[in-house]
Structure formats: C-alpha cells, structure tokens
Amino acid sequence: MAPFEVIQGGGGAHDAIATMRREVREGLARPPRSIPPKYFYDERGSRLFDAICDLPEYYLTRAEAALLTRHADEIVTLVGARTLVEIGSGMARKTGPLVRALCDHGASPLYVPFDIAHAAVEACARALLARAPRLTVRGLVGDFAYDLPRLSTAAPASSGPRLFALLGSTIGNLDEHAAPAFLRSVARLLTQRDGFLLGVDLVKDERALHAAYNDARGVTAEFNKNVLRVLSRELGADFDEHAFDHLAFYDAERQRIEMHLVSRRRQLVSVPAIRLEVEIAAGERILTEISRKFTRASVERALELGGMRLRAWYSDDEGSFALCLAVRA
C-alpha cells in the first residue's frame, strides 16, 4: 500500500453539491435562517481557521494540544491502538503527539484523516509523513453526516485496535439532539477493542468565551463571512459580505456560543442554483455555528445516549478543556 492516498467519500463532488443545495435551501428558505457550519471550510476557510488557532484569545487549541502532549502515550497504550482515525481532521495541528505515540507502539501505524476539505486532508497527510516516514496515511474526504460508515473501509477492524478521535470540541457544533445521534453512529463503528477520544471545551468564565470568538484582529469575523463566499461560488448566490456583521455571544442558559451573520440593511439575495430568493430584513440574523460548552456530567450523559461509556477523563488544571476516552457500552 502507498504511504499516502486519498479516498473520496460518497458519490464524489456531485453528491456533495446536491447535499449543499438541499441543506442551504432548508436553512435559508424561512426564518430563523441558518447555514451549516461545515460550509466554512473551503481552502480559504481552512486557512482562516488555522490562523484562528494561533490567536492569543483562542485558548482551545493550546489547551487541547498541551493535554495531548501530556497524555497521548497513555491513551494510545490504554487502547493498544495501531490505527488512528481522526474525524474532522482539518490541518491536524494537534495530531502530532498521537501519531508519535502510535509510531512508538506499532510496527505499521496507520493514520486516517477524515475531513470535508480535500486540501486539508492532503496538507495534513504530507506534514505528518514528513515527520513520521513509517506512517501510512489513508485520507477520506467526505461529510461525517453521510460518509461516516466509509471509515470501516478506510480503517477496517482487521487492522487492529483503532483509536477514533474527534478533537477541537467539534462535538460542540452539534445540538443536544444531534450530538447523541452522531455518537451512536460512531459507536456502531467501534469494536470492543477500539477507543474513542473526544475533545470538549468546558464551561468557563463568559469573558474568556467572548474573547475567543470575537478576536481583536477580526479573523473570526472573516472566517464567519467566508461561508457567504462559498455559497456565492458554489451556488451562484449574490451575497454581499460587506452587508453583514459578525456576531458571537454566549447563551448561558444553553451553555453555548452562537455565531451569526447580521444583515446591516434590508436586502434581497438570489441563490440561482436552488432557485431561491431570500428577503432578509435589516438586523435579521443568520445562524452559522453553535459551540456548546460541557461539564463532565453533560459529557457522560451524551456518551451514554450515544451508546458509549467514559473510560478516562483528562482535564487541565484550570478546568478549561478536557480529553475524554470512551469505549462502546
């Protein structure tokens, strides 16, 4: 097997565009309007998010990376993992400690990055191979809402114990109903020998949360507006990004950040590919992302509803972020 290959999920680009058309129509057709956050991540969006991870206000990446550096070897040892499957891998900025531990413990380590952005999968594969030449990388490009079962082909159970990972608190982008459903889908992939590593952002002081999603340089605002560029390019929409403002705030009752685009004026937006015209009022919001914050109790509830149980919990001294190792119940 070649050290690096990329598999296209689902039915290829045509299916991805068909899915985009359906989901965007459902989200924009009537208030309250929304756009799925996965459409941030074209090549430009992936670069912008990579830049967000380096911002001083954005504590999440640093906190998670420190935990991985400290505990990766123990986690890989507990599972006995020979394969690492990273769901929503992005640029795999934090994956290095897990890959190093995998290479230390196995003769033929396999890494499977799974992401919606082809460029991100290829870039992270090349970067990791440069540091770990014994590694084999088999990337999967797809949408984890639809293509998750294909991981059984990319990383078959016969390859030995597998560590599935969803890092970066990506689980927080799913609401109270969608998160357990997603976890059930992952649990169906797991054998009794496998493990599932989940990164979760924890409930904390609202000022830290506000700063993380409203950075002084405005990179997060650019990232938020990038979804409009994606829809304009892929669906022929005529969004004017300058007619929208970035808004992010913490909803303490629901323990989540909400990110919106707010219309600065009344406007009529045309989306020809889905034969949709949207009249957006001045001050009207389009929800682009939620980011839920967790406690240990809420994580355990979500895992239980998802057919898993918590095996190990690793959090930093500040109680800012946690890594949760789970197994199939």
The string of pLDDT tens digits covering residues 250-274 is 999 999 999 999 999 999 999 999 9
The pLDDT value recorded for residue 1 is 42
255 assigned to some structural domain: yes
Q: Do residues 86 and 92 make contact, with C-beta atoms less than 8 angstroms apart?
A: yes
User: Both 198 and 238 in a single domain?
Assistant: no
The pLDDT value recorded for residue 290 is 98
User: Both 323 and 182 in a single domain?
Assistant: yes
User: Both 151 and 138 in a single domain?
Assistant: yes
User: Both 178 and 271 in a single domain?
Assistant: no
Q: Which of 145-159, 180-194, 287-301 has the lowest mean pLDDT?
A: 145-159
pLDDT at 11 over 60: no
The pLDDT value recorded for residue 108 is 84
The rounded distance, in Å, linking the Cα atoms of 132 and 136 is 9
Most confident of the ranges 53-67, 92-106, 110-124: 53-67
> What is the pLDDT averaged over residues 36-54?
94
Across the strands, what pairs with 83? 110, 162
User: Both 198 and 230 in a single domain?
Assistant: no
320 assigned to some structural domain: yes
User: Both 214 and 151 in a single domain?
Assistant: no
The rounded distance, in Å, linking the Cα atoms of 135 and 120 is 18
- The three-state secondary structure class of 247 is strand
> What is the pLDDT averaged over residues 56-66?
96
Average pLDDT, the chain: 93
**Domain around 248:** 206-292
Identity of the amino acid at 204: K
CA atoms within 13 A on the CB side of 79: 33
Q: Which of 121-125, 236-240, 260-264 has the lowest mean pLDDT?
A: 121-125
Number of domains in the chain: 2
- pTM, two decimal places: 0.94
Considering only CA atoms, give the Rg of the chain.
Answer: 20
User: Both 230 and 167 in a single domain?
Assistant: no
User: Both 194 and 233 in a single domain?
Assistant: no
The rounded distance, in Å, linking the Cα atoms of 319 and 103 is 30
Give ∠ CA 80-143-300 in degrees, rounded to 5.
Answer: 50
The rounded distance, in Å, linking the Cα atoms of 166 and 143 is 14
For the four alpha carbons of 92, 180, 291 and 269, in that order, the dihedral sign comes to positive
> What is the pLDDT averaged over residues 75-79?
97
35 assigned to some structural domain: no
179 assigned to some structural domain: yes
Task: Return the percentage of the chain with pLDDT > 90, whole number.
Answer: 81
User: Both 251 and 315 in a single domain?
Assistant: no
CATH of the domain at 310: 3.40.50.150
Identity of the amino acid at 59: Y
47 assigned to some structural domain: no
pLDDT at 92 over 90: no
pLDDT at 8 over 80: no
User: Both 137 and 85 in a single domain?
Assistant: yes
Over residues 158-177, the pLDDT tens digits come to 988 999 999 999 999 999 99
User: Both 80 and 227 in a single domain?
Assistant: no
H or E segment and range at residue 134: none
Task: Find the farthest-apart pair of alpha carbons in the chain and give their distance in angstroms, rounded.
Answer: 61
Task: Return the percentage of the chain with pLDDT > 70, whole number.
Answer: 97
User: Both 67 and 186 in a single domain?
Assistant: yes
The rounded distance, in Å, linking the Cα atoms of 144 and 87 is 7
- Following DSSP, what letter does each residue of 151-165 receive, concatenated? HHHHS-GGG-SEEEE
Q: How confident is the model at residue 12 (pLDDT cuts 50, 70, 90)?
A: low
- Cα dihedral 1→185→224→266 (10° resolution): 140
Across the strands, what pairs with 326? 196, 310
The rounded distance, in Å, linking the Cα atoms of 215 and 51 is 11
pLDDT at 45 over 90: yes
Over residues 96-114, the pLDDT tens digits come to 999 999 999 877 899 999 9
pLDDT at 17 over 80: yes
The closest of 86, 92, 89 to 155, measured between CA atoms, is 86
Residue 277 to residues 31, 87, 219, 256, 273: CA-CA distances in angstroms?
A: 13, 35, 29, 31, 11
33 assigned to some structural domain: no
98 assigned to some structural domain: yes
The closest of 145, 119, 163 to 20, measured between CA atoms, is 145
Q: Do residues 258 and 173 make contact, with C-beta atoms less than 8 angstroms apart?
A: no
90 assigned to some structural domain: yes
Q: Which of 43-57, 58-72, 121-135 has the lowest mean pLDDT?
A: 121-135
